[in-house]
Chain A
Amino acid sequence: MQKDETLDAKGLMCPMPIVKLAKKIKEMQVGKVLELIADDPGAKEDVPAWCSRTGNELVEMKQEGKVFYFYIKKKAE
C-alpha cells in the first residue's frame, strides 16, 4: 500500500490516536496518504468514524495481531 507519511500511535489509548491523526492530516496535502499504526482496541471503530465525519477516505485497514494499520487519504481541508 502506497503511503506518503506514517504516524505511529502504538501505545496510545483513545482518544490520543484520533487527536494525533487529526493534527497530522491537517499538515498534509489533499490527495496524500497517511499510514496510521495503532494498537488501541478502540481505534478499530474510532478511525473509520473519524474518516466518515471529516470526509477523508479510509483506503485500507489491516490488522496484524493486536496492531492495526490504517491507510487514510486526505480528501478534504
Chain B
Amino acid sequence: MVDKKKVAIIVSEGTFDKAMMTMMIANTAVSMGMEVHVFATFFGLKLLTKGANPKAPGMYRLFTGMFKKKMKAVGVEDFAVNKKMAVELGVNLYACSSSMGIMGVTEQDLDPGVKILGAAGFLNIAADTDMQYFIG
C-alpha cells in the first residue's frame, strides 16, 4: 500500500462542467483512499449551496438537460447526487468566507457539513497536500 495522498481542489466557477469535474475528481480521489479538500470561491461558492443546480456555460446553457441525460445514460448522476456522495465519502468541502459576502451567500444557504474558511486557512491545508488542482 502506498502512502495516503492528499488532494486540494479550488473551484472558482459555477458552471455545470466545472461543477461535475470538481465532484467527479473529488469522488474518484476519495474512492482511491486519498484525503480530499475542496475550496469553493467566487462563482464556485454557489455550488456548495442547498439546491445548487449549475447550468452549462454560455450558449450551451440550453443544452444542460441534454448533457445531464447523456451522463445519466452512462451512470453519472446529477450534480446534487454527486455532491451528496462526496460528503458521504468524506470529501472536505469549504466555502470561501470572503466570497460569501460578495456572492450574497449566508451560512444558512450552505449545505450541511460545509466548513467556512478564508484563503489563508485553505492554503494552510493545501500546503500539506500532494496534488493541487484549480478548476476555473
Real binding pair: yes
Tally of A-B residue pairs with Cβ under 8 A?
46
Of B25-33, B51-59, B93-101, which stretch is located at the interface? B25-33
Residues of A in contact, count (CB < 8 Å): 19
User: What are 15 A-to-B residue pairs whose CB atoms are below 8 Å?
Assistant: A11-B74, A11-B75, A13-B75, A14-B28, A15-B24, A15-B28, A19-B85, A22-B30, A22-B32, A23-B31, A50-B32, A53-B2, A53-B33, A54-B33, A76-B1
Q: Is the CB of A18 within 8 A of B28?
A: yes
Residues of B in contact, count (CB < 8 Å): 16
Q: Which of A9, A13, A22, A52 contacts B31 (CB 8 A)?
A: A22
B131 within 8 A of A: no
Please indicate the chain B residues that have their CB under 8 angstroms from the CB of A12 in the complex.
74-75
Smallest Cβ distance from B27 to chain A, in angstroms? 5
13 further contact pairs, Cβ within 8 A, besides A14-B28, A53-B33: A11-B74, A15-B31, A16-B74, A16-B75, A18-B31, A19-B89, A22-B30, A22-B89, A50-B31, A53-B32, A54-B32, A55-B2, A55-B33
